[in-house]
Structure 1
């Protein structure tokens, strides 16, 4: 195929854009979403949460730092397709090992460049995320549109099992081991267990199919649920595992998909956002402290929980702890011992956030959440586990 071969992008409502092939030649389908980050494209591409999604970059110039061997968030690129306006002709970074175009081509990721990504993003903001097709082999938009409309929609789809590890593995603590955590891999990013390891946490990463018995076999001080793709309403097994862990008073921390599953475990519903939050510049307020954080997001679903008041659940009292300042979407949940309890009323039992505190890519404002998890485990260390901080 000649360099800069023509390509087309067709949305399921028929809107069509023409441009040039970028990355691998061929054809691809997925859900069209946009990412507002001006940097961090390598981490975005390798984030398993983007499985089956065609990512539109709103920043006009992409690829200028190339691809390196250190910033991958998983072992491969997960996006279904990639859309950029002005790709860099050559990378300019001492860390670069190859071009973004070459990496996309080598991993078979079909993309398109040279289109008006601003117009495409405005269309998705007005009409919502939708199915899309990109092709450098099809010249008839009507023919491609027919195949787009036959593709699977994101709503109602369970995807965590497609991106999860198949075998359990351990990320050792850095230095002295203070705690042990069982982490369900629903699409976990490499940096997440690394952030816990920095705090003396030994992380046992388990497949998405792990049972409660598998979790307890680790003899954990806490349970962690990662980010991941798909519709939380279609993901039931992990909700049941989490409910069993909460019933046993196991401290819990969840991020992104783990926030949505936590919400469902507590009895809340979830719903699909019109176009979602994807980027590294989303303002969120931690209502427990009043602090506003700039945070990294990648989610198309959200928890349907009341922003005010307390909700009684079989596991304690739930409240919304974090909220997005752009649109009031629930960005975090807390579970506490009921205030009327005769034992430790108001004590924090579990919590979650809808964003990515591991900061890969993104700001470091939310790094304190890993410390909050360590504090929670320190307060509620499992008495069945003979290991103490001094013995670790």
Structure 2
């Protein structure tokens, strides 16, 4: 069935600012979350299913959303993770021959409320100037005061622990069970493409819930450890930070991405902070300070680690810098096989400039295993 977005809808920001639009699918709905924007020109389905976006209202800056439909295989988790979608033009019809269904059908299946016909340029400009904040999207356009009261009850993203909402409840495995390398992954919001990248390089991965102890993970006898991406503020993740400290102490290779990067920083005593509006897009420029090469990267985070504290830390080295604002984009430990990045080397559909980081991780594991074998 084809729809036209006719029902009036609004976006109410926490500071009282209102933007107007229409409901996708001409249906009633209300959704709350932190409003943020992604500048990617493609990859909307991957964005919507990325656990790192849990609890957020996503504004897409690309003018057309839904034009190439949706596919069963282009998901990063078990379903849609954003709280709601805000876009300019929503395409009810799609042109890709191998799409499995329309984006409207995909969103309906997962119960996601979306609004279109929004002046997204004005909205994004406002967020850039005033920062990411809580908001509500709704067709209850005549109930503005009631919506303001409900919005006031939504907790701020700062201090909010969300990893437990998206992490697996029970351990599971990925990859060939006969593979020569075993990796234990702490799931604080892991993306499927991370597991694909580890598996295709010859790893057997066991994925553990967010609150798993080091002893439980180590009992599986992994050759290396991985801490995933995920949503929310990293500072409330006390159990994950404690586990990271023990992983670091054991001496085995450890790789962290995004929220995992922040957890590793916290495990080293480096603080984190909430950014003004974060980095979300697939064209973020990063400089690799070790090679002098630039990388175009996929990023989606609203928190970062403290640069001054990192530079002053005797055991840490900054390896990557975001060229737009000079925030820390990567670190390594000088005397340990531990490194992490604030962006996504597994980016799907791309860019793929940073995929080499998985090879770096595997080289650390191979060298570690060889070293242990000769002792």
Shift of 1:307: 8.3
Shift of 1:310: 5.6
- Residue aligning to 1:166: 169
Q: Which of the numbers 255, 258, 261 marks the counterpart of 1:259?
A: 261
Aligned pairs for 1:86-105 within 5 A: 86-105=89-108
TM-score by length of 2: 0.95
> 2:331 maps to what in 1?
333
Shift in Å at residue 76 of structure 1?
0.5
Aligned residues: 370
Tell me if the contact between 1:310 and 1:319 (Cα under 8 Å) persists in the aligned partners: no
Query: Which residues of structure 2 form unaligned runs of 5+?
Result: none
Determine the C-alpha separation between the residues in 2 that align with 1:117 and 1:2. 19
Q: How far apart in 1 are the matches of 2:337 and 2:13?
A: 44
- The unaligned stretches of length 5 or more in structure 1 are 338-347, 387-392
SS in 1 for 2:222: coil
Greater helix percent: which structure?
Answer: 2
Q: Which residue of 1 aligns with 2:219?
A: 217
Residue 2 of structure 1 deviates from its aligned partner by 8.7
Equivalent in the alignment of 2:339: 351
CA-based RMSD? 1.8
- How is 1:68-83 mapped onto 2 (pairs within 5 angstroms)? 68-83=71-86
Aligned to 1:390: none
1 CA distance for matches of 2:144 and 2:129? Answer: 22
Q: Deviations over 1:307-366 (max 9, x none)?
A: 885622xxxx211111100000111110022xxxxxxxxxx5200000011122320100
Q: Is the 8 A contact 1:30 1:133 kept in 2?
A: yes
Determine the structure 2 residue equivalent to 1:130: 133
Equivalent residue for 1:379? 367
Deviation >4 Å, runs of 4+ = 307-310
Contact (CA 8 Å) 1:8, 1:141: kept in 2 or not?
no
Q: Offset at 1:40? A: 0.1
In the TM superposition, what whole-angstrom CA distance separates every residue of 1:267-317 from its partner, at most 9, and x where no partner exists?
1000000000001110011111111100000100000033885622xxxx2
Displacement after TM superposition at 1:4 (Å):
2.1
User: Structure 1 residues 93-102 or 221-230, which shifts more?
Assistant: 93-102
Give distance in 2, aligned partners of 1:256 and 1:353.
6
- Matched with 1:345 is none
Matched residue, 1:272: 274
